[in-house]
Structure 1
Amino acid sequence: MLPPRNAIGRIASHVRLVLPRTSGPNVHLRPFTHRTQLLLSPPPGRPQLPFLSPLAPSRPLPPLSIHLRKHFGRLISTESREGYKRRFGRSLKVSISFGAILVLFSIIQLGVYQEDIEHQWPTPPEWSWKSRWSLRSAQALQHPDYVGKLMTNWPMVAGYMAELLERLEDVEGEGKGIVEQYDGGLLVEGVGRTGLDISAKSEPWRRGYFQALMGAAKAAENLDGWVTDRRQKISAPAEYAVGPSNPRPKPMPAGQRKVIHEEDCERASPPPETFYMKVLTTNGFDTRQKLDAALAYADWLDFKGLQETAGDMYVWAMDIAAGGFEGDANKIVDLRTGVLRNNASDLPSENILRVSTALAVHNARQRNLPTALSIFTSILKARRNLPPSIRLLPAIISPRTAHKILQRSLLRSLQISQNGSHSC
């Protein structure tokens, strides 16, 4: 039996919602079974992207740089790009830290080295750090066994000394207080300008200036016949320079690929007499310092074969030694020959003994054996007459060395005389 029907089965008409009618164009509803073109998908096909489309054979290939710049953004994603940035930043930080550590270690090592050679060869404390650096570095280079080198780099020594002398002789800089002698100084042809008056400077300053002059002279002796290429900043003997005056130059040493040219070359160093004469004519050096320069210059003249000039320089050295002697030097030594008189009351000074010994060696080299033997005998007798306290001091030349020099000179003279007789 069916359930009873509800009395309210329909919504009352006064309760039913009525949508208002809007005015406008008529909307045509599409039948459900009718298909239009809007619902049809486009025909399937490959997307036409620039990097996927093949190039026409007629089109030229773009340069590799343009191609990479065009497609670099596609090859690296945003995430990988950020990763690369982080890696690059981390590597840069590590590299900078490691480089800073290496630089600091090098500075510390250089400071320890400079302090070591400063203790070995002290420099005047009143000089600037650059002048002290130049002097002790040049002195260390002259002792290659101490600094772990095989040989001395004389061009570098000459460069250090030239730069140092230029600063020390600057009256507006570190040479403040020195004056020119003889109303502006004297210029000697072939030698250069004479010495200055440095008597107003302190003793450490004068000692350092003397070391610089003697170091420059020694470097000039070792660089005799050398030239320096200004453009390439290298030095070598003149026979290696390529130029009109040397049509067949020697090949450069192994490992040196540069070739020096004569038109770009200049003398590697001034002549040694420039520095020796500056020491001898400077007002402010003591007797021993001038005597060192005179004997070194005379020995250099002997080496160059200028025996007569060397003899005059030895006489000048004897005058310097006699000038520093307290008393009459003529009672002690013959100023021309260097033979000591050996008076019982007067004793020779160390400077006189040095010059006499150098004169004896000079005469022995020139095969002037009677004079050399007389000088050596007087020196040995004078040293035997010295008090025991002074006799214990190290002699400039021992009797055994003097005997060897005389023996070699005698043998050489005999060989020369025999060769001359055979040739006749």
Structure 2
Amino acid sequence: MRLAASRIQLPRGAAKLSNARPSDCPCPRQFSFKHPRQFLVAYQGSPRPQLPFLYPSGQHLSNGQLLRLFSISANHKKFIKETAKLSVRYSLLIFLLTSCFSIASLGILSEQQERAFPSPHEWSLITRFRFRRGKWWQVPENNEEEGFPNWARVYSELQYALNRLENPDKDGAGLAEQEEGGILVPGVGKAGFDLTAKSEEWRQGYYEVLMGMASAAERLDGWVTDKWRRNVWAPEFVESASNPRPKAVLPGMPELPDEEHRVPAADAPETFYLKVITSKGFTTYQRLSAALGYADWLNFRKLPDSAEEMYRWALDIAIAGLPTPEPSTVIDRSTGILSSTAPKESITPNIVYAATNLATFMAGNGKVASALPVFVSLLRARLNADSVRIPALSPQKDASLVGTLISLLSEPDYPPVPPTGDEPLLRGETDRCEEAALKNYIGEILFATAGSSSTQRQQGLSWVRDGVSTSKLAQSLDPIKSNDALRKKCEQCEEVGLESWGKIMTYLAAEAREKKEGADKGGLSSLLWKISGSKGLEEDVESFEGESEGVMLRLNKLRSRMLKEEYDEMDRKFARTFVF
């Protein structure tokens, strides 16, 4: 039996849905009918959108995902632009500030160097800068790393200045060769220029450069460098005939270059000394100083014959500057003894300077018999010279604000050129130390050559005592007390005199003690000594020993004071940033 079917009434919206297209009918999503394990499989060619969160992170990313990873938002772009602008702005500001500070520091340092080591105003800026640096590096306290002057650096700076001074296109305009192409010196070559066209300040600065390079070359004798001149090596690291087994370089030092790449760190010192001696336009004192410097260098190198010849050449230079047409009336050229009848105005400081160095050299090489009359004639010439009192007055400075600003902004004056040395000799208070040194020399030579002559021994001892008294008196004079260099020189002269005095008294005390001990041993001679002079020998021993102890006490006291002053000065120097 068929059941009756009843019609079901649908909602009104259902009829509309029935008319819709089959494609618009809602149907379950295809992936929802797959097994859950199939969700882990990705189809690279599937046109349907994929869900990234349903796949492991090790899968490949699409191009859109890659672009989205490197995409920058608008706010981020704005932040980057502002940060870049600020970075560039502050970088330029810091660069400008540091540059200005560096330039200002260099200018202040250069100004300090100029006031400490003045240079001729007609030189160019670079030449003056190099000259000042060469002078500045000669001060030990300015070399913080080494603690002593770096002579290789000094030589390099002064060499740069010398090349500019001798270049006609730079600072050497007007510098000319001498007649007949200059003077040829064996082993050195052409030496000497005609400087008469240059000013006195230019010649003085040129002289200081040459003498500074000569001093540096003496310290660099035997040192080598490479062709780039970046490093220098001491002689103990270089194999040579006098050093067949050189030392190995220290750790951290560059290795010594090959022999074909080595060059001397400096030219020979005589190159610069002879250039001063043979140049035309230098004063007598400048040429004399160069000749004596070269002679001292030869004496240091154990070349006494060459050194004596150079000392006599220096004496000839001084004689050539005498104001008299007959130099034989002033000094004996062969012996160096000044004439006792020579007029006062004919004796010059150059003659005294050259003869003193010659006599000192002869005394140091055992020629005391030749040196003694020279010392005596020199002391006589100094004592007979006209006295002059040089007031030790410092130049008055304007202490006002305007004057201080003007002095800071204006260029310092170049110091006056030293005298030529051909003027008549004058006896000033500052020359007392030279007189004391001559007295010490005379006393030592007299005592050393006395032999058994007691009279000559007493004369030598008296000369030494007088020399010590003179140096002690000189330290109390105002011109010497106000000048530290002169005061230290007098202290050194007193130290040498006290040391000689102490040695003489020690020798006399030992000799008297031997005589007393011989008298105490017995015998006929000893009996006569006991009867006649035993008491006198004991008094002599006590007197000599007591005087020797007193002299040694004075010497130790003086040395302790000098050492304390030296330490205090070193503390003051190293406490400052720059020392001039």
Decide: shared fold, TM above 0.5: yes
Paired position in structure 2 for 1:229: 226
Q: 1:45-70 CA deviation, whole Å, 9 max, x = no partner?
A: 65359x975169xxxxxxxxxxxxx7
| In 1: Cα distance, 2:108 partner to 2:264 partner | 35
Q: 1:380-409 CA deviation, whole Å, 9 max, x = no partner?
A: 111111122132253396243345557778
Alpha-carbon distance change, 268 to 409 in structure 1, aligned in 2, over 3 angstroms: farther
Alpha-carbon distance change, 315 to 73 in structure 1, aligned in 2, over 3 angstroms: farther
Query: Which deviates further from its counterpart, 78-87 or 231-240?
Result: 78-87
Query: Which deviates further from its counterpart, 205-214 or 94-103?
Result: 94-103
Paired position in structure 1 for 2:338: 340
| In 1: Cα distance, 2:447 partner to 2:230 partner | 47
The answer (yes or no) to whether the contact 1:243–1:261 under 8 Å persists in 2 is: no
The answer (yes or no) to whether the contact 1:242–1:262 under 8 Å persists in 2 is: no
Alpha-carbon distance change, 372 to 39 in structure 1, aligned in 2, over 3 angstroms: farther
1:96 offset after TM fit, Å? 2.8
The answer (yes or no) to whether the contact 1:241–1:262 under 8 Å persists in 2 is: no
| In 2: Cα distance, 1:71 partner to 1:349 partner | 97
Paired position in structure 2 for 1:94: 90
Alpha-carbon distance change, 146 to 233 in structure 1, aligned in 2, over 3 angstroms: closer
2:31 paired with 1:43: yes
Matched AA of 1:271? A
Q: State the 4+ residue runs in structure 1 displaced beyond 6 angstroms.
A: 146-149, 242-247, 406-415
| TM-score of the aligned structures, taking structure 1 as reference length | 0.77
**Which of 87, 105, 125 is the aligned partner of 1:129?**
125
Larger radius of gyration: 1
**Which of 208, 214, 223 is the aligned partner of 2:205?**
208
Alpha-carbon distance change, 243 to 32 in structure 1, aligned in 2, over 3 angstroms: farther
Alpha-carbon distance change, 73 to 293 in structure 1, aligned in 2, over 3 angstroms: farther
| In 1: Cα distance, 2:67 partner to 2:434 partner | 88
Alpha-carbon distance change, 257 to 182 in structure 1, aligned in 2, over 3 angstroms: same
Matched AA of 1:336? S
Paired position in structure 1 for 2:544: none
2:294 paired with 1:297: yes
Mapping 1:240-319, distance limit 5 Å: 240-241=237-238, 248-253=245-250, 256-263=252-259, 264-319=261-316
**Which of 54, 58, 61 is the aligned partner of 1:54?**
58
| In 2: Cα distance, 1:244 partner to 1:80 partner | 75
| In 1: Cα distance, 2:328 partner to 2:369 partner | 21
Matched AA of 1:338? G
| In 2: Cα distance, 1:174 partner to 1:350 partner | 33
Unaligned runs of 5+ in 1: 1-28, 57-69, 416-424
Matched pairs, number: 372
1:30 offset after TM fit, Å? 7.6
Q: 1:294-315 CA deviation, whole Å, 9 max, x = no partner?
A: 1111111111111111111111
**Which of 152, 167, 173 is the aligned partner of 2:164?**
167
The answer (yes or no) to whether the contact 1:242–1:260 under 8 Å persists in 2 is: no
Q: 1:70-90 CA deviation, whole Å, 9 max, x = no partner?
A: 789538655335424433432
The answer (yes or no) to whether the contact 2:375–2:441 under 8 Å persists in 1 is: no
Matched AA of 2:110? Q
| In 1: Cα distance, 2:295 partner to 2:122 partner | 33
Q: Tell me the SS of whatever aligns to 1:398.
A: helix
Query: Which deviates further from its counterpart, 234-243 or 309-318?
Result: 234-243
| In 2: Cα distance, 1:223 partner to 1:233 partner | 15
Q: Tell me the SS of whatever aligns to 1:193.
A: strand
| TM-score of the aligned structures, taking structure 2 as reference length | 0.57
| In 1: Cα distance, 2:289 partner to 2:241 partner | 41
Alpha-carbon distance change, 92 to 395 in structure 1, aligned in 2, over 3 angstroms: same
What's the % identity of the aligned pairs? 34
Matched AA of 1:375? V
Name the structure with the higher helix share. Answer: 2
Paired position in structure 2 for 1:372: 371
Paired position in structure 2 for 1:349: 348
